[in-house]
């Protein structure tokens, strides 16, 4: 079996660090930004519209209990771009915009 065909299930690992390390050891390619799903449903329920505009933004990565704040004040699209880069580096596949 080629290394590129290896599929690692995050549920088989006790910590996120062990999963990231297993991916690094398996020499898996970087997660494509287009493969990261962004959910805005809770934000829409709380605010009545999709996220937009200028401000401070926070995101939940996968099933994290605490949101991660993107440092600095910026537009939603800039913050989302940074959040996707963080998700990519941590091999997260799901981002939820915090309300």
pLDDT, one tens digit per residue, over 49-73 is: 999 999 999 999 987 889 999 999 9
Q: In degrees rounded to 5, what are phi and psi of residue 74?
A: -160, 175
pLDDT at residue 3 is higher than 80: no
The answer to whether residues 41 and 10 belong to one domain is no
Domain count, the chain: 2
The answer to whether residues 44 and 68 belong to one domain is yes
The answer to whether residues 5 and 44 belong to one domain is no
The answer to whether residues 24 and 71 belong to one domain is no
Predicted confidence at residue 76, as pLDDT, reads 97
The answer to whether residues 56 and 92 belong to one domain is yes
| Range of the structural domain that residue 6 is part of | 1-30
- Label residue 32 by pLDDT band (50, 70, 90): confident
- Label residue 14 by pLDDT band (50, 70, 90): low
The answer to whether residues 8 and 49 belong to one domain is no
Torsion of CA 49, 81, 88, 56, to 10 degrees: -70
Tell me the two tokens of residue 44. Answer: 């829409």
Q: CA distances (Å), 22 to each of 8, 33, 79, 81, in order?
A: 8, 20, 29, 26
Please count the other Cβ atoms lying within 10 Å of the Cβ belonging to residue 95.
21
């Amino acid at each position: 079996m080629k290394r590129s065909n290896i599929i690692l299930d995050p549920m088989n690992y006790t910590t996120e660090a062990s999963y990231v390390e297993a991916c690094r050891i398996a020499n898996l390619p970087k997660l494509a930004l287009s493969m990261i799903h962004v959910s805005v449903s809770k934000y829409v329920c709380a605010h009545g519209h999709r996220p937009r505009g200028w401000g401070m933004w926070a995101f939940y990565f996968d099933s994290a209990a605490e949101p991660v704040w993107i440092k600095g004040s910026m537009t939603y699209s800039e913050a989302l771009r940074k959040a996707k880069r963080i998700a990519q580096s941590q091999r997260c596949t799901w981002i939820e915009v915090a309300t």
